[in-house]
Amino acid sequence: MNFITSFLKSFLNNNTITISGELITGENIKINKFIRIDGKVILSDSVIIEDNCSLKNCKVGTNTIIKKGSIVNDCIIGSDVAVGPYARIRPDSNIGNKSQIGNFVEIKNSIIGQNTKINHLAYIGDSKIGDDVIIGAGVVTCNFDGAKNNKTIIENNSFIGSGVYLVAPVNIGNYSTIGSGSVITSDVKSGELVIARSRQVTIEGWERPSPNKKN
């Protein structure tokens, strides 16, 4: 590792980067435009930081890419990870190797296992997620009950469908599948398929109210 003064050639546009602290880098770093660095930031070999990112007190592993518009604070990100675009990694989070944290995903105080994919519009807070887990679009861990934060545990190889709400505290077992649109309030055993949503109802003969229709 070397101080950033040894690697100015890594910056595409030096005068658009603000450093308020210490930046330590490996080799073959690529840092794009409009970047803010605060506190102590460690970038391992072959890291890419795209435009308009903010990094604070974090360590980023080898071959990881932080895509444009992402905010990374007080956390550890492993190797071969993709973060963003427009993702937010909040304090006390640890992202495992080869994981994907996609667009508009927020991670807070959570451990994410290896090769886990959280690709679209999700909130993961106060959680422990295992390896090879897939989290669908719009998934929310409902961690705060009005008085305290509660923990969500999702074990290895589970699949969480789109639009699922996981009401903590809750534990999802290995190889479990949660159907899209479910609200999960109880633990799920390993290998189970769980669907927890209201039954669809069709009202025959219903007419949409019209402001122009006389009573």
Question: Mind telling me the catalytic residues?
Answer: 120
C-alpha 77: how far from chain center? 11
User: Which three-class secondary structure state does DSSP give residue 158?
Assistant: coil
The DSSP result for 13-64, as a single string, is SGGGEEEEEEEEE-SS-EE-SSEEEEEEEEE-TT-EE-TT-EEEEEEE-TT-
Cα–Cα distance, 87 to 197 (Å, whole number): 29
> Measured on CA atoms in the order 90, 94, 97, 101, is the torsion positive or negative?
negative
